[in-house]
Structure 1
């Protein structure tokens, strides 16, 4: 018996979007809280440990980008098939998607552990800093297979409207991680103090707990798509569609890793404090972009389903509502950065120089927050519609085409401050491109 998924094209748009987005927003807020709390505990080890996390971030973000990006391909294909009433191909998309996700996990684990020592030495000659980074990254990447399966399940459940399952799994994993951080980092009773290795181990155990939740729900409840051994047969057309959406989505999410690596190279010439500030900024901005992304995640299966069902008017309404809600979240973030930038930086470091640099950086970068909602909403909507390449064009503008040359030129003229100005200038230019690309792509037959 198939679950009824037609509510995605029959319920009123606004309450439907809220019902799909709210569990994601809650999940993303908890995930943001975990990211910040995790960094606060690591910062208590030393500022050097915080810098090690900043240097590992690009590769760690790339692995997550592969998991989430390919998951977006799975999500979009399932939603499009369900919208068209094709449950057989929806099952096939879920089965192939999970199979490839597991393969990505094995490859990611092996390759990332192998390259990390050399990667870290490109940015520092401090052997203690390299050792910290290698210790943290090795443990984190040992859980790559778990992480890939975890995020594939998340996108599958979201694609069929089971947002509450994804919310419970993510929250359970994050709470586990937060609870284990102080125990494993600083030690408690018979548990020895593991330092930065404890932070990595807590992250991996949290991911494993989330995966257990998904497996339990999948095995004990009804879901609109199921894995099937008979669906494992090679299907070039389907696999091509998964990667046609997934690869641009992976690149969308991985481009920040390339950007951070480039910016770290610019900033490290001046002081390690600037590298630390950039790492702290990316931790703080997740508290805004992850909730906004939660709304986009709620929209993505809805626009895919309605596009598959040829309900184009509902697709347009969903896009506009998501844009407005995302801009509202980013407006709150702008206000916070303008008014309490110093205390926010003070959460992660007690170094007066780093706090002063970070305070100035946040007040400049936040000028582009609100307008960035146009790019993030447009990219998410295009991915939901199965239009991965136009979405990639938007992300290339945000993370490569505009910001890298602008940051390089302004850094040469203004020093590190020029890098901070490059952020808001890039968001303004990218918003114009994103609006045009979305409306052109969505009206193509």
Structure 2
């Protein structure tokens, strides 16, 4: 038995859990668990780079601090393509239309490559100007620019692998991407010091070395992922003959993915805009904000994973003509995440000082960070509710609704409340903006979802084509009807 088979045996496969029938809890759990692990492995890239560059120099560490948010922002512009592909594959699989699912996956990968080439070119040309705008000092700017230029040139590999994960998830396979991610992280961690410090036969590349390690490890992961999809033994299959760009299909991907990109980009921008408000106060407040958001990123990992699992299950059940089961999945996930995250909120509320003290020994930062966490902790469960229903909206193809709720909660509520709250109540006004936006976002998501307007969102209907031979190009736009 191979290592891959042994690791896969720890989890349930799609064949062992039909997502369109039977219970809801077990398949949702077995979909979400590998996603949690994959997301944790994703952070290992950043941790490895941060650790080794911290050993290299302070300037290198500062450079990577500018680089990480920019990488996320750059990828977020094209993130909707991966979500669109996941939704299309999920609904076609649920409808039993395997050929259409394969065509959707093939076209998604094609347009992901094309979009990443454009994003990479833009990033390479303008990244230095953006870094200056963000305030990178003359000592930090060269390293940060070198890092981002290498990432920009290799972003096709980073983004392509992200799309591979999404397509496999839409099919119902979250195990294979987790295993490929594990191998990729291992390569990155091992390669980092050789390229950063110039060990053995390698040149000393400093900050750029970390970027080269990331691009190389992701390129290997993408090649493995493409090989898996070409073979078709695990998850969705792609066909080279179906990868010629289809403009009609691109319009469908854009219609689904455009709002999703706006949602992800909006989330990234909201954090940066909020930093402007936080920056009005002392370094102590800025440090407390940074610690609090890092704690949030760990606590909310289960909610993000469950939302992605809900997206897959909702998509497959909508495709199978079972909207009631899709709604039951969203309801179950929302209730479960409310209980789990509320319990975590209680723990954080009780142990705020020790949690913040893990990150700093400054008493003033500990006090302000504890105030931040204690204020927001009671609403953790509401964020779980918001994520669950947003995932179901996306799975139903209603990515515009999910984006609208996110923009409302973060842009129309959190930012204005933070700004005016800061003027009236100081830092506490910023912390309370999280509470208000969590309450409003969850309430709007529940009310909007219960209106049932998502139930007619079967994206497979225009594309039902009979008698498709394997390898033939499907006409997803329905122009041959």
- Where on the TM-score scale, by shorter chain, does this alignment land: which range? 0.7 to 0.9
The equivalences for 1:308-319 within 5 A come to 308-319=319-330
Report the counterpart of residue 133 of structure 1 in structure 2: 144
- 2:149 matches 1:100: no
More helix by proportion, 1 or 2? 1
Q: What is the TM-score of this pair, normalised by structure 2? A: 0.81
Gaps of 5+ in 1: none
Contact 1:32 1:290 in 2 (8 A): no
Change (3 A) 1:372 1:142: same
Report the counterpart of residue 75 of structure 1 in structure 2: 86
Report the counterpart of residue 127 of structure 2 in structure 1: 116
Q: What is the TM-score of this pair, normalised by structure 1? A: 0.87
Give distance in 2, aligned partners of 1:264 and 1:181: 30
- SS class of match (1:370): helix
Contact 1:58 1:258 in 2 (8 A): no
- SS class of match (2:135): coil
Pairing partner for 2:74 from 63, 68, 75: 63
Give distance in 2, aligned partners of 1:312 and 1:70: 24
Contact 2:230 2:238 in 1 (8 A): no
Report the CA distance between 1:179 and its aligned residue. 3.9
Report the counterpart of residue 450 of structure 2 in structure 1: 439
Give distance in 1, aligned partners of 2:370 and 2:194: 31
Report the counterpart of residue 250 of structure 1 in structure 2: 261
- 2:171 matches 1:171: no
Report the counterpart of residue 334 of structure 1 in structure 2: 345
Contact 1:116 1:134 in 2 (8 A): yes
Give distance in 1, aligned partners of 2:199 and 2:358: 24
Report the counterpart of residue 228 of structure 2 in structure 1: 217
Report the counterpart of residue 158 of structure 1 in structure 2: 169
Give distance in 1, aligned partners of 2:398 and 2:318: 11
Report the counterpart of residue 335 of structure 2 in structure 1: 324
C-alpha RMSD of the superposition: 3.2
Q: Comparing 396-405 with 332-341, which one deviates more in the overlay?
A: 332-341
Contact 1:185 1:197 in 2 (8 A): yes
Report the CA distance between 1:387 and its aligned residue. 0.8
Contact 2:35 2:305 in 1 (8 A): yes
Deviations 1:220-275 (CA, angstroms, capped at 9, x unpaired): 45256433344346645533222222111111111122112212222334345655
Change (3 A) 1:151 1:178: same
Report the CA distance between 1:138 and its aligned residue. 2.3
- 2:436 matches 1:425: yes
Report the counterpart of residue 380 of structure 2 in structure 1: 369
Give distance in 2, aligned partners of 1:179 and 1:329: 36
Pairing partner for 1:148 from 159, 164, 167: 159
Change (3 A) 1:26 1:6: closer
- 2:281 matches 1:270: yes
Give distance in 2, aligned partners of 1:177 and 1:401: 40
Q: Comparing 248-257 with 279-288, which one deviates more in the overlay?
A: 279-288
Equivalent pairs, count: 443
Report the counterpart of residue 38 of structure 2 in structure 1: 27
Give distance in 2, aligned partners of 1:44 and 1:300: 41
Report the counterpart of residue 393 of structure 1 in structure 2: 404
Q: Larger relative CO (CA 8 A, sep 6+): 1 or 2?
A: 1
Change (3 A) 1:357 1:139: farther
Change (3 A) 1:319 1:153: same
Give distance in 1, aligned partners of 2:434 and 2:265: 17
